[in-house]
Amino acid sequence: MSIAAPATLFHTPFEAMASRCEVKLNAPTAAAAQRYADLAIAEVKRIEHAYSRYRPDSVVSRINAAAGGKSAVLCDAETVSLLDYAGSLFAMSDGLFDITSGVLRQAWNFKQAKVPSPSRLKPLLDLVGWARVERDGARIRLPQAGMELDFGGFGKEYAADRAAAVLMDVGVTQGYVNLGGDMRVIGPQPDGSPWAVGIQDPRRAGQVIATIPVSSGALATSGDYERFFEHKGRRYCHILNPHTGYPVAHWQSVSVLAPLSITAGSCTTIAMLKAADGAAFLAQTGLMYLTIDAHGQFGQPPA
Amino acid sequence: MTSTPLCPTAPATPAALPPLGMALLTAALCLPLAPLAQAESQPERGSITLKYLDYKDSQPGWNRIWVHAPSVAVLAPVGENWSVAGSLVSDVLSGASPAYHAEPNPFKIHEHRKAGDFTVTRYLPRGTFALGASYSTESDYVSRGITAQGSFASEDKNTTFSGGLGLTSDQINPNNKVVVNERKNITDLMVGVTQVLSPNDIAQLNLTYVHGTGYYSDPYKLLDNRPRNRNQTAMLLRWNHHLDSTDGTTRLSYRYYTDTYHVKAHTLTAEYVQPLASGWTLTPMLRFHTQGAASFYVEADGSGYPVLPPDYAPGRIVSEDQRLSAFGAFTYGLKVAKQLDKDWSMDVKVEQYQQNGAWRVFGTGSKNIAPFDARMIQLGVSRLF
């Protein structure tokens, strides 16, 4: 076996899912790299379109539009598997990971920095509840008008895994897919060393607080800094507890390293939602993680 | 920046995950994150393709047949899971086919053939099913056919099985009235398997069996009288290999053919598809074909006349058709295609065919027939909609 010459990795930035995204990959020629990147980008955009709440023809829009109606909406196999996944996460998170909770965002306007009143939240909380969603095989029905599904909780991570699968399928062995910070690594750098993935400092925008070496698998981070406002000295972030309707407040950020991007992302979200119990939840997963609590203290798996 | 508090060799998957970690991972692994090879899927866009074929064959000193054939083909996705495809071709053939062997036929022919076909395909999550019909008419020949085809992919979509059945019914009324209202009925069966061997390799094996009864003779050839039953069997093995170093693809195939006329043929084809900058693609092609003669083929003598068996009597099974003789043949081709923009593409294909009795391998070739050449030029333009 000969020693391989250091291969060039090709880098393609793009915009999708309202995020800055990029793929980095090995390929025999620049033309092949462009073709591979186009395949990955097309897959990300396919998922973005298929599960967008803003496109009237998306399956999510069809399900939401039929809420409270008589008939159930028939879903394709991929949507069924994503709904199954959402159901599994709902069960494993004691009902905190709930894809019907997106409706709560109607009460939280992060531009106006206004804390909604309990009377504003109450009718929206009544619309939250995965347990009430009716499913029969490939059919789904939201029982109450106004109820909404939102795949935003894992759509980006799912897209990162699918894009990586597309690239691996055409023979890519090195590089990564990065969708707005959700990082799915396909293989190490050409010299065999891991990628150093930076973790955002939750209190200093644009600064890296730690780097994690990743050779394979995925690293995801959720934080209270992505969208938030402060009111009377308190921070209100975009991650909303489906039981109270209020933003979570225990962690500044949670990062998880897992084999799949969707697993890493789901764990960070559940840990954020579980607040003080999040550390115990993460420890029970057996995955590697890094938490930064409200005082800026690091936490990681018990030795 | 703080140095990483995590162990620098932290693996993404610890050796064994506790139950919660396993449950989370198992839930994710139920997602379609691995069905990477795609089953044949409904085309996302329709297409319309116009082609113009110019074919001319010749032997030394004689231009035999000239064919001009414009055609149009349309493919359109319908709804979520269906597509329809159809094509029309109109070809004008002029010249003369040999009277026997390679001897010029004094009667010039000018024939206008019109043909069309239509296929409806249903796309299923792991397969396809298609039904088709075809019709072709010219002054002395009408052909009608129906086909059914299906394919089914394995769960990982790396293996695809396919099968097809076709029925064709032809009606033959030669202009010279040698026969009237003759018929030919053909049933063909195909089974195949396609296997993805690696990200760069795909192989296919197809077996075809054709059973036909009826009028197989050429009414414009003297003495031509062929058996009314013909069963044909063919095996086709194909291997496509993508070369990472050039981004090109080699396509190699071997076909073995045998029939109840005792024709046995071997065909080797090699193509190489090279994508270039600015949407250009070059595809050179080389094919070698060799076959043995039909058992009832009669050779030509040195002056070009058939050497009939000593006990020849009218009605006996004989043929002097050059296509049933023993020969070897080379085809050289080049296709140049250019993607003009995201909707339009065009291509030019040129092929040259040369047939010679002396080039037969695995036996001696038929003697005393002039070498036969054909040249084909095809222009195509296609638009997606």
List per-block mean pLDDT (blocks of 10 residues) for chain A, which spans 303 residues: 54 92 90 90 92 84 92 89 94 95 88 86 94 92 94 92 91 92 90 89 89 91 85 84 92 94 96 95 93 93 82
Distance between CA B148 and CA B165 in Å, rounded?
Answer: 5
Distance between CA B88 and CA A67 in Å, rounded?
Answer: 48
Distance between CA B271 and CA B282 in Å, rounded?
Answer: 10
Cβ contact, residue pair B4, A78, below 8 Å: no
CA distances from B192 to B145, B161, B164 (A): 21, 6, 9
Confidence of residue B30 (pLDDT cuts 50, 70, 90): confident
Q: What local confidence, expressed as pLDDT, does residue B15 receive?
A: 55
**DSSP letters for B239-298:** EEEEETTTTEEEEEEEEEEEETT--EEEEEEEEEEEE-GGGEEEEEEEEEEEEPPPTTB-
Confidence of residue B310 (pLDDT cuts 50, 70, 90): confident
CA distances from B9 to A31, A200, B371 (A): 34, 20, 72
Confidence of residue B32 (pLDDT cuts 50, 70, 90): confident
Instruction: Write out the E strands in chain A.
Output: 9-16, 19-26, 73-74, 134-136, 139-141, 175-179, 182-187, 195-200, 208-214, 217-223, 228-231, 234-237, 251-258, 288-293, 298-299
Nearest to A262 among B14, B28, B247 (CB): B28
Nearest to B199 among A31, A171, A207 (CB): A171
Q: Which residues in chain B have Cβ-Cβ distances shorter than 8 Å to A300? A: 5-6
Is B41's Cβ below 8 Å from some Cβ in A?
no
Cβ contact, residue pair A260, B23, below 8 Å: no
Distance between CA B212 and CA B223 in Å, rounded?
Answer: 21
Shortest CA gap B16–chain A (Å) = 8
Cβ contact, residue pair B25, A258, below 8 Å: yes
Q: What local confidence, expressed as pLDDT, does residue B333 receive?
A: 96
Cβ contact, residue pair A266, B28, below 8 Å: yes
pTM as predicted: 0.58
Cβ contact, residue pair B4, A212, below 8 Å: yes
Distance between CA B274 and CA B248 in Å, rounded?
Answer: 5
Cβ contact, residue pair B33, A161, below 8 Å: yes
* ipTM of predicted complex: 0.85
**Tens digit of pLDDT for each residue in B199-212?**
678 899 999 999 99
Q: Which residues in chain A have Cβ-Cβ distances shorter than 8 Å to B155? A: none
Ramachandran angles phi, psi of A65, nearest 5°:
-65, -25
Confidence of residue B348 (pLDDT cuts 50, 70, 90): very high
Q: What local confidence, expressed as pLDDT, does residue B16 receive?
A: 67
**Length reported for chain A:** 303
